[in-house]
Amino acid sequence: MNDYPHTAALMQRGADFLGCDTAILCGAMSWVSERNLVAAISNAGGFGVIACGAMTPDILDREIAATKALTSKPFGVNLITMHPGLFDLIAVCRKHGVTHVVLAGGIPPKGSVEAIKEGGAKVICFAPTLALAKKLLRSGADAMVIEGMEAGGHIGPVSTSVLAQEILPELSADHLVFVAGGIGRGEAIASYLEMGAAGVQLGTRFACATESIAHPDFKKAFFRANARDATASVQVDPRLPVIPVRALKNKGTEEFTAKQREVAALLDAGEVDMAEAQLQIEHFWAGALRRAVIDGDVENGSVMAGQSVGMVTKEEPAADIIAELMCQCEAALAK
């Protein structure tokens, strides 16, 4: 960090909280953020986070143990709040002494924040609005991630720049807020640090790191893509809810639109009821991220990617990506 004095000063709070050198988190990415990428990020001085996704407690247990075999540095575990076994997963994190648990996918259920903290870990939550951020902090969250709609994966409706302006001036003096969504270069990190962010979280920029196990065709799709190719899924019919996901446009995203129209027509014709219609929409993408990341089916799978995908042009070790971000950030702050 001696090479980055301005950045180190602004990242100090965030780095102390995370227990690493640089306050750069690699946001959990289902199927991508497993032992190899997580350990590589943490070994490079950043903060890796395992994506638990739909893992069972047994599988998470093995993944944490395997990650610990690859790094002695701290890393986090991202748990989805809707997971039916959430409290068992929290117990697995506790058994391994995981230092930070990130709760994603909605408001944490009653008792979950307490259960994590009782085990001695820190809790990081996502806040889509200022009001909710304040509520989560009151309920015991130790830090917040604010994530704009430029991000890859499931997204909210507001851009990172607006969220940062709404939330950082209110909360950053007394609380730790990490900014995510659309960050591809260190200059952007510098600007959020200057606004009071404790650090940043990136996903898209790390998805194709050398250590990422993503399929070569998944990585190639990233290298070819421009910002405008990473589009948010659209809801066609007000009766059939679709949680927006940002992913690369492909055959699957087109078929999803067609599927929604088809199901809406069946609903109009009285051939399916509402529950069945909504189930068909929900099931369309089941297993789709795995198909893209692991099997390399980038035509039919879900190639989740943020708008910063245009800045991902080649496979590089995680350490090089972090070093480049830090150099760019430092140069911007030193100006």
Ligand X SMILES: Cc1cc2nc3c(=O)[nH]c(=O)nc-3n(C[C@H](O)[C@H](O)[C@H](O)COP(=O)(O)O)c2cc1C
Residue 61 Cβ vs ligand X, minimum distance, rounded to whole Å: 18
> How far apart, in whole angstroms, are the C-alpha atoms of residue 305 and residue 160?
15
Which of 10, 24, 32, 318 is close enough to bind ligand X by CB under 6 A?
32
For ligand X, the binding residues in 77-106 under the rule CB under 6 A are 78, 104
Residue 106 Cβ vs ligand X, minimum distance, rounded to whole Å: 11
Which of 53, 76, 108, 310 is close enough to bind ligand X by CB under 6 A?
53
147 binds ligand X (CB under 6 A): yes
For ligand X, the binding residues in 234-293 under the rule CB under 6 A are none
Which of 23, 28, 38, 127 is close enough to bind ligand X by CB under 6 A?
28
x-or-dash string of contact with ligand X, 199-238, rule CB under 6 A:
--xxxxx-x-------------------------------
> How far apart, in whole angstroms, are the C-alpha atoms of residue 192 and residue 165?
9
Q: Which is nearer to ligand X, 22 or 263 (CB)?
A: 22
Any idea what DSSP says for residue 146?
E
Strand partners, 199: 178
Angle at CA of residue 58, ends 52 and 50, nearest 5°? 25
Of 26-34, 55-63, 128-136, 257-265, the segment contacting ligand X by CB under 6 A is 26-34
Residue 239 Cβ vs ligand X, minimum distance, rounded to whole Å: 27
Which of 89, 176, 180, 321 is close enough to bind ligand X by CB under 6 A?
180
Given a contact cutoff of 8 angstroms between Cβ atoms, the answer to whether 253 and 259 are in contact is no
Which of 92, 151, 208, 318 is close enough to bind ligand X by CB under 6 A?
151
Alpha helices (runs of H) in 71-174, residue ranges in sequence order: 86-95, 112-118, 130-138, 160-171
177 binds ligand X (CB under 6 A): no
Helix (H) or strand (E) holding 51: strand 47-51
Q: What is the bridge-based pairing of β-strands 76-80 and 100-104?
A: parallel
- Put the strands of the sheet holding 153-154 in their side by side order: 153-154, 245-248, 230-232
> How far apart, in whole angstroms, are the C-alpha atoms of residue 212 and residue 229?
22
Binding site for ligand X (CB under 6 A): 27-30, 32, 51, 53, 78, 104, 147, 150-153, 180-183, 201-205, 207, 304-306, 308
